[in-house]
Amino acid sequence: MTREVWLKGQDRRRRLLSWGAAAAAYLLAFGTLALVEALKVETYTDFSGPVMVRLGSPEGQSERGVVEPMVPLQPEPSPPSVPESVAPAAAPRPIAPASPPPPKQTAPKQQPAAAAAPSTASAAASAASSAASSSSAAATAQPAPPTPEVARGSEAGNDYETSFGGEAGKIRRSLYVPIYRFLPPPLYLDPWVLESAKAGPNARSPMTTEERRRIIERFYAKPGNVLSLKAPVPLAEREALWLVLEDAGYDPARADYKIGKTLKPVVLSFTVAPAATKEAMPSLAEVEVLESSGYADLDEAVLYGFRKAVFSSDAARPVTGRFIYRF
Beta strands in 94-139 (DSSP E): none
The pLDDT value given to residue 138 = 46
The pLDDT value given to residue 227 = 94
Q: Which residues contact 311 (CB under 8 A, 6 or more apart)?
A: 171, 172, 173, 174, 272, 281, 282, 284
The pLDDT value given to residue 316 = 82
- Residues in the chain predicted with pLDDT less than 50, given as ranges, are 47-48, 60, 62-67, 71-73, 82-92, 94, 96-97, 107-118, 121, 137-139
The pLDDT value given to residue 113 = 43
How distant is the alpha carbon of residue 183 from its chain centre?
A: 41
pTM summary value: 0.55
The pLDDT value given to residue 46 = 52
- pLDDT tens string 258-306: 999 999 999 999 999 888 887 788 888 889 999 999 999 999 999 999 9
Report residue 59: phi and psi, to 5°.
Answer: -85, 5
